[in-house]
């Protein structure tokens, strides 16, 4: 009998709990006619990011590199390199600046095909806090190593010798003037090396474009999450990987580029810390990266993932426009800009905007979407 009573009491408690749950459900249920917010569709973000941002950006970089290839050939076709390179130098400088823009737009994404086989570093070794490109390229020029004169053999060398940063070092003087193709003792070697560099860069850009267009490597893994997928078991995890990559791009721009040039010290020495400062394209690259971040976040549709986050898209566009306008008002010669109090104040303002973007995207947007994306790869998480 005691066992029966115990079972009855257990049943009664369960029934009572069930009744409470039913009552709570009726209280918490939305009123008739009020639609519930649909569940977040995590599967939409990565495909949209690849299709509408990464792939077009990779193609744009490839196209601009092909145009730059003809600029290199034109500079180096002059018979003896004597005299002012004139129009050829202007064409090359403009073409190089356009490639820097395209690289800034693409490089901020840092996911998928761009993260395969060191493609990101082969395109440009940035940031380069220790001056690796300067040291390695200087040694290469001194030795005139013939294995650097073919894209086929150059690809086996250090990534610091393969990218846009290496091309910048041999093509521009410290004051931003084009010296590639001018009458220098190592003119022939520099020209041959520049040709190999651009050929290799085009090949790398093609690899990246192909990796996004016909998904392979990390791109394929992110587009096909599953239990046996080493990168992402679920669409949500794939969305988190891509979002984390974008946050890493933001952190690099803020922490390892802008904040480093704003540290105390001689203006020109601090300016040299920024990618593409030698060619006076540092601010273009930074501006393109900031714009690229906003375009990538928007193309992926992260702010549209839930109604509570939709305001973030407008705010992101507004702050991005402010940052780019401030950068446009700073002299292209970053050393001169850092030496001018008014111009430097604009850079401090941009740094403040990037701090706000980090909180808005990595904090609020990630929170609304329940993404573990409020960190980046530089945090060690």
Per-residue pLDDT of 65-76, as tens digits, reads 999 999 999 999
Q: What is the pTM of this model?
A: 0.88
pLDDT of amino acid 321: 98
| Residue 72 vs residues 39, 193, 202: alpha-carbon distances, Å | 53, 10, 13
- Answer yes or no: are the C-beta atoms of 376 and 362 closer than 8 Å: yes
Query: Which pLDDT score, from 0 to 100, does residue 142 have?
Result: 96
Contact 288, 104 (CB under 8 A): yes
The C-alpha atoms of residue 168 and residue 197 are separated, in whole angstroms, by 10
Label residue 84 left, alpha or beta by phi (over 0 means left) and psi (-120 to 50 means alpha). Answer: beta
Distance, CA of 192 to CA of 217 (rounded, Å): 32
* 172 backbone dihedrals φ, ψ, rounded to 5°: -125, 150
Asked if residue 336 has a cis previous peptide bond (ω within 30° of 0), the answer is no
Q: Which residue has the tokens 């002059």?
A: 78
42-374 maps to CATH 3.30.450.40: no
Q: What is the pLDDT of residues 253-288, one digit of tens each?
A: 999 999 999 999 999 999 999 999 999 999 999 999
Distance set, CA 254 to CA 147, 287, 332 (Å) = 37, 12, 18
Predicted confidence at residue 372, as pLDDT, reads 85
What are the residues facing 172 on neighbouring strands?
Answer: 178
Contacts of 111 (CB under 8 A, 6+ apart): 49, 54, 218, 222, 241, 242, 245, 246
Q: Which parts of the chain have pLDDT scores under 70?
A: 1-37, 78-85, 373-381
Return phi, psi of residue 40, to 5°: -65, 130
pLDDT value of position 78: 66
Question: Where exactly are the structural domains of the chain?
Answer: 42-374
pLDDT at site 104: 98
- The closest alpha carbon to 49, from 295, 252, 218, belongs to 295
84 backbone dihedrals φ, ψ, rounded to 5°: -80, 125
Q: How many CB atoms lie within 10 A of CB 12?
A: 10
């Amino acid at each position: 009998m005691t066992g029966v009573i115990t079972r009855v009491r257990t049943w009664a408690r369960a029934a009572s709990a069930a009744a409470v749950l039913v009552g709570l459900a009726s209280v918490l249920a939305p009123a008739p006619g009020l639609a519930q917010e649909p569940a977040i569709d995590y599967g939409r973000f990565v495909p949209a990011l690849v299709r509408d941002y990464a792939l077009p950006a990779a193609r744009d970089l490839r196209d601009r590199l092909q145009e730059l290839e003809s600029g290199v050939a034109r500079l180096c076709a002059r018979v003896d390199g004597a005299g002012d390179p004139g129009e050829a130098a202007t064409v090359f400088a403009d073409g190089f600046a356009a490639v820097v823009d395209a690289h800034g737009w693409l490089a901020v994404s840092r996911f998928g095909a761009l993260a395969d086989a060191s493609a990101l570093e082969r395109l440009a070794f940035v940031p380069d806090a220790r001056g690796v490109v300067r040291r390695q390229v200087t040694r290469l020029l001194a030795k005139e190593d013939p294995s650097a004169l073919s894209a086929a053999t150059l690809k086996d060398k250090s990534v610091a010798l393969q990218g846009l940063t290496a091309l910048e070092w041999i093509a521009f003087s410290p004051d931003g003037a084009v010296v590639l193709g001018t009458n220098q003792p190592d003119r022939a070697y520099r020209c041959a090396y520049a040709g190999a560099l651009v050929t290799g860069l085009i090949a790398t850009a093609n690899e990246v474009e192909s990796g996004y267009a016909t998904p392979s490597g990390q791109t394929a893994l992110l587009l096909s999450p599953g239990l046996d997928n080493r990168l992402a078991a679920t669409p949500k995890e794939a969305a988190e990987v891509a979002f984390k990559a974008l946050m890493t791009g933001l952190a690099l721009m803020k922490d390892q580029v802008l904040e480093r040039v704003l540290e105390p010290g001689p203006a020109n020495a601090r300016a040299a810390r920024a990618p593409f400062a030698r060619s006076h394209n540092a601010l273009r690259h930074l501006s393109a990266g900031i714009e690229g971040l906003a375009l990538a976040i928007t193309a992926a549709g992260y702010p549209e993932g839930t109604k509570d986050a939709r305001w973030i898209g407008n705010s992101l566009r507004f702050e991005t426009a402010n940052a780019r306008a401030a950068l446009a008002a700073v002299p292209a010669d970053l050393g001169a800009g850092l030496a001018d109090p008014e111009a430097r104040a604009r850079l401090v303002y941009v740094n403040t905007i990037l701090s706000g973007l980090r909180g808005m995207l990595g904090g609020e947007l990630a929170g609304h979407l329940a993404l573990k994306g409020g960190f980046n790869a530089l945090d060690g998480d």
